[in-house]
Protein backbone atom coordinates (compact mmCIF):
# COMPACT_ATOMS: atom_id res chain seq x y z
CA UNK A 1 0.00 0.00 0.00
CA UNK A 2 1.51 3.32 -1.09
CA UNK A 3 1.59 6.13 1.40
CA UNK A 4 0.75 9.58 0.23
CA UNK A 5 2.69 12.49 1.70
CA UNK A 6 0.86 15.75 2.14
CA UNK A 7 3.06 18.82 2.12
CA UNK A 8 2.34 21.16 4.98
CA UNK A 9 1.44 24.58 3.68
CA UNK A 10 3.08 27.38 5.59
CA UNK A 11 1.06 30.36 6.91
CA UNK A 12 2.69 32.78 4.45
CA UNK A 13 1.60 30.66 1.47
CA UNK A 14 -1.95 30.50 2.87
CA UNK A 15 -1.98 34.27 3.32
CA UNK A 16 -0.77 34.85 -0.25
CA UNK A 17 -3.42 32.45 -1.60
CA UNK A 18 -6.11 34.33 0.35
CA UNK A 19 -4.82 37.68 -0.94
CA UNK A 20 -4.88 36.43 -4.54
CA UNK A 21 -8.44 35.23 -4.00
CA UNK A 22 -9.44 38.64 -2.59
CA UNK A 23 -7.88 40.46 -5.54
CA UNK A 24 -9.66 38.17 -8.03
CA UNK A 25 -13.01 38.56 -6.25
CA UNK A 26 -12.73 42.37 -6.17
CA UNK A 27 -11.74 42.44 -9.84
CA UNK A 28 -14.74 40.29 -10.79
CA UNK A 29 -17.11 42.42 -8.69
CA UNK A 30 -15.87 45.60 -10.35
CA UNK A 31 -16.04 43.98 -13.79
CA UNK A 32 -19.67 42.93 -13.19
CA UNK A 33 -20.53 46.47 -12.05
CA UNK A 34 -18.85 48.00 -15.11
CA UNK A 35 -20.71 45.56 -17.38
CA UNK A 36 -24.03 46.42 -15.72
CA UNK A 37 -23.41 50.14 -16.37
CA UNK A 38 -23.49 49.23 -20.07
CA UNK A 39 -26.53 46.95 -19.60
CA UNK A 40 -24.32 43.90 -20.23
CA UNK A 41 -23.88 40.68 -18.32
CA UNK A 42 -20.36 39.72 -17.27
CA UNK A 43 -20.27 37.05 -19.99
CA UNK A 44 -21.37 39.56 -22.64
CA UNK A 45 -18.71 42.02 -21.49
CA UNK A 46 -15.96 39.37 -21.53
CA UNK A 47 -16.96 38.24 -25.03
CA UNK A 48 -17.07 41.83 -26.27
CA UNK A 49 -13.65 42.52 -24.76
CA UNK A 50 -12.19 39.50 -26.55
CA UNK A 51 -13.74 40.56 -29.86
CA UNK A 52 -12.45 44.11 -29.48
CA UNK A 53 -8.96 42.64 -29.87
CA UNK A 54 -9.68 40.52 -32.95
CA UNK A 55 -12.52 38.71 -34.74
CA UNK A 56 -12.80 35.10 -33.60
CA UNK A 57 -14.70 31.98 -34.66
CA UNK A 58 -17.47 30.91 -32.29
CA UNK A 59 -15.64 27.72 -31.26
CA UNK A 60 -12.54 29.68 -30.30
CA UNK A 61 -14.67 32.10 -28.28
CA UNK A 62 -16.24 29.15 -26.46
CA UNK A 63 -12.75 27.82 -25.64
CA UNK A 64 -11.57 31.19 -24.35
CA UNK A 65 -14.72 31.68 -22.26
CA UNK A 66 -14.71 28.03 -21.16
CA UNK A 67 -18.32 27.43 -22.15
CA UNK A 68 -20.36 25.57 -24.73
CA UNK A 69 -20.50 26.93 -28.31
CA UNK A 70 -24.30 27.09 -28.05
CA UNK A 71 -23.94 29.54 -25.13
CA UNK A 72 -21.62 31.70 -27.23
CA UNK A 73 -24.18 31.74 -30.03
CA UNK A 74 -26.80 33.16 -27.66
CA UNK A 75 -24.43 35.80 -26.31
CA UNK A 76 -23.37 36.83 -29.83
CA UNK A 77 -27.05 36.98 -30.88
CA UNK A 78 -27.85 39.41 -28.04
CA UNK A 79 -24.79 41.57 -28.72
CA UNK A 80 -25.53 41.55 -32.44
CA UNK A 81 -29.11 42.73 -31.76
CA UNK A 82 -27.61 45.72 -29.90
CA UNK A 83 -25.23 46.52 -32.77
CA UNK A 84 -22.11 45.70 -30.74
CA UNK A 85 -21.09 42.57 -32.65
CA UNK A 86 -21.45 41.32 -36.22
CA UNK A 87 -20.89 38.00 -37.92
CA UNK A 88 -18.54 37.83 -40.90
CA UNK A 89 -17.29 35.04 -43.14
CA UNK A 90 -13.75 33.93 -42.35
CA UNK A 91 -11.54 35.12 -45.24
CA UNK A 92 -9.53 31.87 -45.12
CA UNK A 93 -12.53 29.51 -44.86
CA UNK A 94 -15.89 30.91 -45.92
CA UNK A 95 -17.69 28.02 -44.16
CA UNK A 96 -16.64 29.51 -40.82
CA UNK A 97 -18.33 32.57 -39.36
CA UNK A 98 -16.28 35.00 -37.31
CA UNK A 99 -17.77 37.17 -34.62
CA UNK A 100 -16.34 40.68 -34.68
CA UNK A 101 -16.89 43.79 -32.59
CA UNK A 102 -18.45 46.70 -34.45
CA UNK A 103 -17.08 50.20 -34.02
CA UNK A 104 -19.69 50.76 -31.27
CA UNK A 105 -18.71 47.44 -29.70
CA UNK A 106 -15.05 48.48 -29.60
CA UNK A 107 -16.09 51.80 -28.02
CA UNK A 108 -18.07 50.00 -25.31
CA UNK A 109 -15.20 47.55 -24.69
CA UNK A 110 -12.77 50.47 -24.36
CA UNK A 111 -15.13 52.18 -21.92
CA UNK A 112 -15.35 48.97 -19.89
CA UNK A 113 -11.55 48.70 -19.67
CA UNK A 114 -11.23 52.36 -18.68
CA UNK A 115 -13.81 52.01 -15.90
CA UNK A 116 -11.90 49.24 -14.10
CA UNK A 117 -10.16 51.32 -11.46
CA UNK A 118 -9.53 48.62 -8.85
CA UNK A 119 -6.61 47.02 -10.67
CA UNK A 120 -5.21 50.19 -12.24
CA UNK A 121 -5.15 52.57 -9.27
CA UNK A 122 -3.18 50.40 -6.82
CA UNK A 123 -0.75 49.44 -9.59
CA UNK A 124 -0.17 53.12 -10.38
CA UNK A 125 1.21 53.49 -6.84
CA UNK A 126 3.93 50.96 -7.57
CA UNK A 127 7.17 51.90 -9.25
CA UNK A 128 7.97 50.57 -12.71
CA UNK A 129 10.45 48.14 -11.15
CA UNK A 130 7.79 46.88 -8.71
CA UNK A 131 5.26 46.41 -11.54
CA UNK A 132 7.89 44.54 -13.59
CA UNK A 133 8.68 42.36 -10.59
CA UNK A 134 4.99 41.65 -9.95
CA UNK A 135 4.44 40.84 -13.62
CA UNK A 136 7.40 38.49 -13.57
CA UNK A 137 6.14 36.71 -10.47
CA UNK A 138 2.62 36.35 -11.88
CA UNK A 139 3.97 35.03 -15.18
CA UNK A 140 6.15 32.60 -13.28
CA UNK A 141 3.11 31.40 -11.32
CA UNK A 142 1.34 30.88 -14.66
CA UNK A 143 4.47 29.23 -16.11
CA UNK A 144 4.46 31.78 -18.94
CA UNK A 145 7.65 33.41 -20.23
CA UNK A 146 7.61 37.23 -20.16
CA UNK A 147 6.96 38.97 -23.46
CA UNK A 148 9.61 41.68 -23.37
Render pLDDT for 101-127 as a digit per residue (tens, 0 to 9).
999 999 999 999 888 877 677 788 889
**pLDDT top residue among 27 and 39:** 39
Q: Distance between CA 117 and CA 129 in Å, rounded?
A: 21
- Please give the sequence-ordered ranges of beta strands (E in DSSP) within 3-144, or none if there are none: 56-57, 85-90, 93-101
Is residue 1 predicted with pLDDT exceeding 60? no
pTM over 0.95: no
pLDDT at 83: 98
3-17-11-118 Cα dihedral, nearest 10 degrees? 180
pLDDT at 4 over 60: no
pLDDT tens per residue across span 29-83: 888 999 999 999 999 999 999 999 999 999 999 999 999 988 999 999 999 999 9
- Indicate the DSSP class of residue 96: E
Amino acid sequence: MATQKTARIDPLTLEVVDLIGTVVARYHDEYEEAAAEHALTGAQARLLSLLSLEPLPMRRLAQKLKCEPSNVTGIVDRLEARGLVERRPDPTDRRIKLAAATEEGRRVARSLRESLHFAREPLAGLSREERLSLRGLLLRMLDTPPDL
